[in-house]
Chains A and B, each alone.
Chain A
Amino acid sequence: MAKRSGIFDMIGPVMIGPSSSHTAGVVRIGRVAKRIFGKHLAIESVQITFYNSFARTYEGHGSDRAILAGLLDFKTDDARIKNALDLATQESISYTFKAVGNASIYHPNTVKVEVQGNGRSVEVIGESLGGGVINIASLDDFKADFSASNHTLIIKATDERGVIAFISNILAQENCNIATMSVSRKGKNDLACHVIEMDSGIPQITMDYIRHINWCKELIYIPDIDF
């Protein structure tokens, strides 16, 4: 059964208008892309593609400002969202927007964010599901499917036997419950991506430990995207 609404779904959320799916949801997707890229890394350039239903209305709904606001790590109720185009330019971020009308394999409200800077590049595809709720469909061409409303752990690792068991065992030792988990890989023995949504966070030392294991190529931790 779907999660029951609460009082603050009726009287809330506090948000920047005009639309929860075209503004608040898009800010969240931008923020996830920023966190995956690196919270403290400077973004140099970003290409943003709005698909399907987003393609025609992204300007009118301010989704262009919303996605840049997310990439500037603003929250959904930040009054600066309105000025995000100028603020991104001030931060020396160069940006381009593109609209694609008929990407039928994508959700109606889909946005693709390609971020570059410091020699690093990240590609995130996000879906705005309504009411500000999002799904990150993929990252760097790996299937992801997470909402970013829990604690999310993303681990890129070599495709080896026992990695999933190892990770879940460590999380169990941290008394951390796994809500959802998805694993996809480029190919056999190639790179695999583990996306784990957890009910609680894990300490820095545990993340550092996983990072030092030789199969771990990258570890990203994103706490609840609204905090």
Chain B
Amino acid sequence: MSFLFDSFEGWKAIIEEKKVSLFQPVIEYEINEKGSEEQSILLGLEKALDVMFDAVDSGLTEDMVSRSGMINNGAKKVYNHGVSVLGENFQKVIARALAAKEVNSCMGRVVAAPTAGASGIIPGVLYTLKDIHSIEKKTLVEALLVSAGIGLIIDNKASLAGAVGGCQAETGSAAAMASGAIVYCLGGDFLQVSNAVGITIQCMLGLVCDPVAGLVEVPCVVRNASAAAIAFSSAQIAMAGVDAVIPVDECIEAMGEIGQSMEERYKETALGGLAATKTGKALSKKILISDIQILGEEEVLPEKPSNKAC
């Protein structure tokens, strides 16, 4: 039986025992659990990488206006703006994360990584990393394997779904996966990867899922940008050998605990937070379908299956 990605501690033990790189057990897991072949796994990830980078490019070149109108070509404005608040690369990573996520909001093709709501983070981060450090495609694919391993552990110990754990579970997990990928690409070791993930989670803990009008637009799109920035800040801290103090496995457990105790109105129900503000409610009223039939008590639909003639 392969290692089942239930903890970072276990992941560390297996790579030390087998003396392999940290992406190797991820491949073995997929081969054993899903019956896949190594070649098809690598090809699938190459394809995912292409879709991610295409999403960044289309978000920066094509018209991106969502059906609700709340998303309106923000990424391009950021990318082309004359003032760089922190430098060109910062401006670019923010714009790229926005771009890929805007493509998702506007019904374009993306990779859910790990979810559709967080689909701008890993593309924005890896695109920028490749741009700055000329990372080879092979390394980027290995980094995606590392990201997948991180995601699997979070999935096992906490959750990746906004409806279960709030936004921390979606953009927080994606940022953690991205941060680990950065450190891997820049030659960091297992401890540095673990610290980057742990620090990222520490920064994202508690974030609620409060989408305006229930749509994957506000604040999801801007949170993809901030999550990408946090992935880089955590990687910078971890690469320097600064310790996360709380071990990564425990950080993930804290995320699970917070997610469990989070009230339902902060878990994708659009009943709390930004969704419940005056403007949030007004937007919701304007955007959403109002012509909804409400059934009377007697006609609350037939039993299923009914005996209606076929």
Q: Tell me whether A103 and B301 are in contact (CB under 8 A).
A: yes
CB contacts (< 8 Å) of A65 on chain B: these are 107
* Cα distance, A191 to B300, chains bound together (Å): 26
Given contacts A60-B67, A98-B293, whether A138 and B304 have CB atoms under 8 Å apart is yes
A11 to B47, CA, bound (A): 11
Residue of B47, B108, B177 with highest tally of chain A CB at under 10 A: B108
Give the docked Cα–Cα distance between A40 and B106 (Å).
Answer: 31
A100–B300 CA distance with the chains assembled, in angstroms: 10
CB of A60 within 8 A of CB of B214, answer: yes
B114 to chain A, nearest CB (A): 5
CA distance A19 to B107 in the complex (A): 9
Known: A62-B67, A102-B294, A138-B305. A56 touches B111 (CB 8 A): no
0/1 interface trace, chain A 1-31, chain B, CB 8 Å (1 if under):
0001111111111111111100110000000
Q: Is the CB of B215 within 8 A of A101?
A: no
B112 contacts A by Cβ under 8 Å: yes
In angstroms, Cα B112 to Cα A8, docked, is: 9
Distance from A179 Cβ to chain B, minimum over Cβ atoms (Å): 16
Q: A7-B145, A58-B289 are in contact. Are A16 and B108 (CB under 8 A)?
A: yes
Which of A77-85, A147-155, A162-170, A200-208 interfaces with chain B? A77-85
Q: A18 to B217, alpha carbons, bound, how many Å? A: 9
Residue of B41, B103, B107, B151 touching A23 (CB-CB under 8 A): B107
A130 to B115, CA, bound (A): 11
Mark contacts of A61-77 with chain B using CB atoms, 8 A cut-off: 1 yes-contact digit, 0 otherwise: 11001000000000001
B44, B151, B287, B292: the one contacting A55 at CB < 8 Å is B292
B307 within 8 A of A: yes
Instruction: Give the docked Cα–Cα distance between A59 and B145 (Å).
Output: 35
Residue of B216, B295, B303 near A19 (CB, 8 A) is B216
A143 within 8 A of B: yes
Nearest-CB distance from B310 to chain A (Å)? 6
Give the interface size bracket for A toward B. 35 or more
CA distance A82 to B62 in the complex (A): 14
**In the complex with contacts A101-B293, A105-B300, A7-B104 CB distance below 8 A:** no
Residues of B within 8 Å of A, CB-based: how many? 65
Given A4-B33, A138-B305, are A10 and B215 neighbors across the interface (CB < 8 Å)? Answer: no
B261 on the A face (CB < 8 A): no
Docked pose: A184 CA to B213 CA in angstroms: 39
Instruction: Say whether, besides A17-B216, A140-B310, A143-B305, A59 and B144 are in contact (CB < 8 Å).
Output: no
Which residues of B sit under 8 angstroms from A138, Cβ to Cβ?
Answer: 304-305
Does any Cβ of B come within 8 Å of A119's Cβ? no
Contact A11/B217 with A17-B107, A105-B301, A141-B306 known, Cβ cut-off 8 Å: no
Query: Do A12 and B111 have beta carbons less than 8 Å apart?
Result: yes
Q: How far is the CA of A5 from the CA of B261 in the complex (A)?
A: 24
- CB nearest neighbor in B for A60: B215
A59: chain B residues at CB < 8 Å are 67, 288-289
- Which residues from A are CB-within-8-Å of B105? 17-18
| A residues in contact (CB < 8 Å) with B | 4-20, 23-24, 55-62, 65, 77, 79, 81-82, 98-106, 125, 130-131, 137-138, 140-143, 184, 186-187, 191
Other A-B contacts than A7-B44, A82-B108, 13 sampled, CB-CB below 8 A, are: A7-B145, A12-B112, A13-B112, A14-B109, A17-B108, A20-B116, A23-B116, A55-B292, A60-B215, A62-B67, A77-B109, A99-B292, A143-B304
**Interface residues in chain B, defined as those with a beta carbon under 8 Å from any beta carbon in chain A:** 4, 26, 29-30, 33-34, 36, 41, 44-45, 47-48, 51, 66-68, 103-117, 119, 122, 144-145, 147-148, 151-152, 155, 161, 163, 177, 213-217, 287-289, 291-295, 300-301, 303-308, 310
Instruction: Provide a sorted-by-A list of 15 A–B residue pairs whose CB atoms are within 8 angstroms.
Output: A7-B148, A11-B148, A17-B109, A18-B216, A24-B116, A55-B289, A56-B288, A60-B68, A60-B287, A79-B108, A82-B106, A99-B289, A99-B293, A100-B295, A186-B307
9 shortest A-B CB distances, which residue pairs? A17-B104, A10-B151, A10-B148, A82-B107, A18-B216, A101-B292, A7-B148, A99-B292, A56-B288
